Structure 1
């Protein structure tokens, strides 16, 4: 059997090589794909004014959590309220004129029936009624338009989320369509739940789609080894990027603790399923040589160099696709002194280092 460089030769003439071994046991192992992702808000809404006015009051602090419908900014409404007063007075006048026009029309109708009036008089009166009705409708529409504008003086949160910096304070004049930096009063990011976007190799796409067809695919965003948040795959792009050979995917993850923040980079684990009878060994057992990965298998006090195919590595363990069997023992420490066929002496693993004592509390 061919051996990697430095592994040819007879057994160590100085005696058996002390090694630490681990016994192989088949066990369920999740099929995990690793990626690097970027956190994105579910929605990022820019808050802008819908009418020209002056900010009377800001009802929210920068960086605060807001709920949909919360009052954020209050604009000066005095001009609009005055316009509503004017149009209401005009509507009252319109109604009075319409009532008079209808009385006149009825009078000319009665006179015409008694041959005391003319058709022209009756038709003129009827036209006056229609004109008064049209004027009333126009003024009522104008009132509705002003009332709609009045609602714009209270700027409310369109979604729940966390508001960012506030560019304009009380007293500032804001204008619709202003292209200046201050045209956006604030931005609300909807962050619970939140998206994590990442790219996966195109070779993974068939397995991922098959897993999604069976049910929800779990995706975990990892900030560090102790801070994780899990959710489900939400979206796969409908094409492969020909420049990178990857597919963009997106997971939707609950974020009530706000562990994840828009723009943040995170590690991503995608669980495609579980391999129920996987052959897994500590990754420390796997060595790399010119001809690929290999391990040392211990049997009857002798080390055998065994080429292996590593399917994947996760959480300090390597899942072996070919080369090992259930119940065999592999060397996890002491390989540097081994050659194929070397005699070995199995020793106990070294004790784990003691955890440092907690400092005394004052």
Structure 2
């Protein structure tokens, strides 16, 4: 079966003076999927989005979005996409409802259908009660939700979301996640840049890790996690046992352990497929380490990100604690 790509770039280059933002970026996003684009600050994520949405002309390479060249067919690209950038683009003097109706007119929606679609989106994103207030009175999260609603007035073939949930509370974030997943299920291709690793893990069919303007790693969340092996984690009974526990993990995993003193947790990644939980428990017991809990589990996407981008100097972050939603 032949794969059709909604976004395809080859060797994209972009410089801003001395800054080489894109250094031969290759992307391939299949139609109807959600692609998570991750990377450290300054990696080139936003520049890539600006090139792919025709806001910036590349210095080299090529890219096609929805079948159109982003330079020669820029108008056709713009007609096929939706975009939510990092900064909200709503008019603060207009009400939420007026903003959506204005955007609807710009997208050639008219009359009752435009009004109905605006009202539907205000309800979906929890803005119905504030719909007739000026947007300047909205909180940052409310403006963000209104901005995303504006990008969904029509159903775009490709939707670009540049860190869409930054600063949102968990409830608002869940609303946006549900909307994104629904769009993808209906056939819209979504390219999502985010710094929330949980967001990419929840939404993305495929992930591209961009580092220094290039696609450094790519794969499904499961494939990327498999590359760095497992994560061994020990919760000790008291703080004095953390160093001995770290010694055991260092010997067994060959990785530099990370100590979380607040939670009395020591963890380390391992690619040793022969390491088992019973063996880990036996070694800790033999070293006289008093433990509360021991786990050997797949890594989180946060740990994958830190390891594969080399931003932890060989270390991996401690696992996040589970919290009630």
Please indicate the TM-score interval, normalised by the length of the shorter structure: under 0.3
Please state which structure has a larger fraction of its residues in strand.
Answer: 1
Please state which structure has a larger fraction of its residues in helix.
Answer: 2
Q: TM-score, normalised by structure 1?
A: 0.22
Higher relative contact order (CA 8 A, sep 6+): 1
Which structure would you say has the larger Rg?
1
